[in-house]
Amino acid sequence: MNQLPASNELPVSLSPSQLREVDCYLCGSSHRRIRFREGPIQLVECSQCSLVYTTPRLDSEGLKALYQEQYWQSACARDYGYLDYLKDKDLYFRSFRKRLQNVLVHRTSGRLLDVGCAAGFFLHTAREAGFDYHGIDVAAPMVKYAREELGLQNITEGTLESAGFPDAYFDIVTLWDVVEHLPDPISVLRESHRVLKPDGILVLETQNVQSRIARLMGRRWHHFKMLEHLYHFNPETCTRMLSTAGFDVLRWTPRKAGKYLSMDFIIERTGRINPLLPYLFSPLKLFRRSSVYVNLLDEMVFIARPASKSS
């Protein structure tokens, strides 16, 4: 069984005082079955609506601490955070150019907000394509990097709810790999609904816990990162969440949802399967400058429109 990294390797402790038990976020049920556990944290599936989630989980202060410096250059990236997020910026640029195509099908210009924008790699891509870009993120070091290194000035540090954007201000709101990290994603989606124009679109990407690779890998699936991924949606539970927040789903697809990955990332992530594999594959580091586009079809891109604003 994989174990959570030792608390001295984390920006937060795992003391009982920082962990909170929760019931199902979508339906409120306390009835669930345990899929597996790592340390004190359980991955469970709601018996009523099938939402997969973690409990207990870090409290709000613990989660805020998690997403600061150590998260973006993590010593235990297969368990939380990134091996070296900023080092891979060129790979993220290439990945987001593919992902942007999901936006361009519906909008080729306009005012765009990226929620959870991190270092602004998607916003850099959107700016290249001519969009009026805006971003928001809670990670202070990433916001600083976006402003100083990429010249992205329209980025706010904080949460969407605290940003105070005007009603019907944006043509597009994007959330790339964000909702699974949020304790209250429906609140963020409702705020996204408020700031979207009447014909605006929401583009949301998250992992699909019902995908073939997730079922095949079981507890070794690389998205089962217990500290940071609080929810694991499937098409039905994600649609239900969006509907609760006031959105109509126009379509969802696993296409163009992959990423360009470095050889270092691939080698490190094989440790989820077996701790010995990174050592066995270490000779491949000779090709560390190589990258490959990978789409395991285990992520979903949803395109939605505010229901009350639909034509």
The reply to whether 272 falls in a domain is no
Query: How far is the C-alpha of 172 from the C-alpha of 226, rounded, in Å?
Result: 30
In the structure encoding, which two tokens stand for residue 196, read together? 């979207």
Residue 207's CATH number: 3.40.50.150
The reply to whether 249 falls in a domain is yes
The reply to whether 263 falls in a domain is no
Could you tell me how far CA 122 lies from the centroid of its own chain?
Answer: 13
Domain region containing 213: 7-258+295-309
Which helix (H) or strand (E) segment is 242 a member of? helix 235-244
This prediction has a pTM of 0.93
Query: How far is the C-alpha of 43 from the C-alpha of 264, rounded, in Å?
Result: 28
What pLDDT tens digit does each residue of the chain (311 aa) get? Answer: 557 887 777 777 767 788 999 999 999 999 999 999 998 999 999 999 999 999 999 998 889 888 988 899 988 888 889 989 999 999 999 999 999 999 999 999 999 999 999 999 999 999 999 999 999 999 999 999 999 999 999 999 999 999 999 999 999 999 999 999 999 999 999 999 999 999 999 999 999 999 999 999 999 999 999 999 999 999 999 999 999 999 999 999 999 999 999 888 777 777 777 777 777 767 766 666 678 999 999 999 999 999 964 44
The reply to whether 69 falls in a domain is yes
Which helix (H) or strand (E) segment is 63 a member of? helix 60-66
The reply to whether 267 falls in a domain is no
The reply to whether 11 falls in a domain is yes
The reply to whether 213 falls in a domain is yes
Number of domains making up the chain: 1
The reply to whether 268 falls in a domain is no
Query: How far is the C-alpha of 178 from the C-alpha of 162, rounded, in Å?
Result: 17
